[in-house]
Amino acid sequence: MGYIVEMGEIFLAGNYKREKLAFVKGAGTRLFTEDGEEYLDFTSGIAVCNLGHANSELKEVLETQAKLLWHTSNLYYTAPQAKLAKKLVELSFAEKVFFANSGAEAVEAALKLARRFAYENFGKDKNCFIALENSFHGRTFGALSVTGQPKYWEGFEPLVPGIIFVPPNDKKALKKVFNEKVCAIIIEPIQGEGGIYPLDKEFIELTKELCEKFNALLIFDEIQTGIGRTGKLFAYEHFEIEPDIMCLAKALANGLPLSAMLAKEKVMNSLKPGTHASTFGGNPLACAVALKVLEIIGNPSFLKEVSLKGKVLKEKIEKLNKEKPGIIKEVRGIGLLIGIEFNISANEIYNKFLEKKILVTQPKPNIIRLSPPLIINYREIDFFVETFKEIIYSIKS
């Protein structure tokens, strides 16, 4: 155990199940430990470093901005923040942007906005939210309250009232609970922490239809799926449906703390001065980097490559499943957000990847999630699949 790990074990809170690894440097798709060992990163810091680690173009932007301005608070305007808001509006359905620092903060802002909009336009009784079972929206009380996994609630109840849960893709259940009291429904187009479960297009179309019928807002949580991860800049583009509100974070500034809540102007107008705020939200450093991120990832040819890489990776894993059937149950996902569900516990597979110095995540006991940097190359994809093949064939079935 290295010195950094030892120090962390002594002084850091024990709320994370950390591997006994300390990384001191990153470069592209690779991470390097304090002992100089090299790991291939198929996590991107949980779908954050979409342009890889220590990206040279982003470093240049960050260094330039660091010499100019770090923080002013949101009592004033700054050029990076205003430019980034304009860019996000140009690239999406939205007309207004609110900046914060994390995904949970973006979700909190969206929930508050939905209730405030309903309050101002339809009265105080229109205050219920619909959320999906198996969803994940964050750890703060509002975000936790719309997270449809009771294991995260233990010891923190009572949660925020007025939440109704329905099974994902269950159109009958959704129709049954939707009524005039609903102010909004919040969905992940692909449930990430839930195990990489894409929602059906028909189900998403129904959510939009019901929102329009009952004057409710449709909130897309794109914290994990946004910023090119699925081969589109935003995952809602796959479904040809525009939400009323969208939450972004994770990859927006490629690792710097930044999140955004986007909405149509008529909706965002409900956030009047004094109704919501963030001291650090939209700070100049993160916004400057995010502008460059959008410039690179927003390029159609870049997004086309993400789609192609995701297709190649998924097809190679499915081919491996045909060669060695019985271990893999299903391969799911869009673009470079892929979930592999196993017929057995994924613990041994996860640990074998770690032994072979490949980083993956395990959102559920029998599921491995792949979310490599979007700059991953085909040689690295082949290396991953060959390693995965070795692991699969080493397992006694």
- Quick check: 34 pLDDT over 90? no
Q: Residues 287-307: what's their mean pLDDT?
A: 98
What confidence score (pLDDT) does residue 2 get? 85
Q: Is the dihedral of CA 42, 48, 49, 54 positive or negative?
A: negative
Q: CATH assignment of 96-279, given 3.40.50.720, 3.20.20.10, 3.40.640.10, 2.40.110.10?
A: 3.40.640.10
Which residue in the block uniquely carries the two structure tokens 């198929």?
A: 42
**C-alpha span between 41 and 52 (Å, rounded):** 9
The predicted-structure confidence for 366-376, as pLDDT tens digits, reads as follows 999 999 999 99
- Both tokens of residue 11? 């002084």
Predicted local distance difference test score (pLDDT) of residue 397: 61
Percent of the chain past pLDDT 70, that is, above it, reads 100
Residues 6+ apart with CB under 8 A from 90: none
Are 211 and 286 in contact by the 8 Å Cβ rule? The answer is no
Q: Is 389 exposed, middle or buried (0-12, 13-18, 19+ CB in 10 A)?
A: middle
**Rounded to whole angstroms, what are the CA distances from 201 to 170, 198, 237, 238, 241?**
12, 9, 11, 9, 9
Residue-averaged pLDDT of the chain = 97
**Quick one: pLDDT at residue 396?**
76
Digit-coded pLDDT (tens) for 189-232:
999 999 999 999 999 999 999 999 999 999 999 999 999 999 99
Is a pLDDT exceeding 90 seen at residue 102?
Answer: yes
Residue 1 has pLDDT above 80, yes or no: no
Rounded CA-CA distance 139/147 in Å is 9
The band of 178, judged by pLDDT with boundaries at 50, 70 and 90, is very high
Range list of H helices, 231-335: 265-268, 284-297, 300-323
Res 165 pLDDT > 70? yes
Closest by alpha carbon to 81, among 287, 255, 234, 326?
A: 287
pLDDT at residue number 256: 98
Spatial distance between the Cα atoms of 119 and 127, rounded to a whole number of angstroms? 8
Q: What is the pLDDT of residues 35-61, one digit of tens each?
A: 899 999 999 999 999 999 999 999 999
* E strand or H helix at 122: helix 103-122
pLDDT in tens, 114-162: 999 999 999 999 999 999 999 999 999 999 999 999 999 999 999 999 9
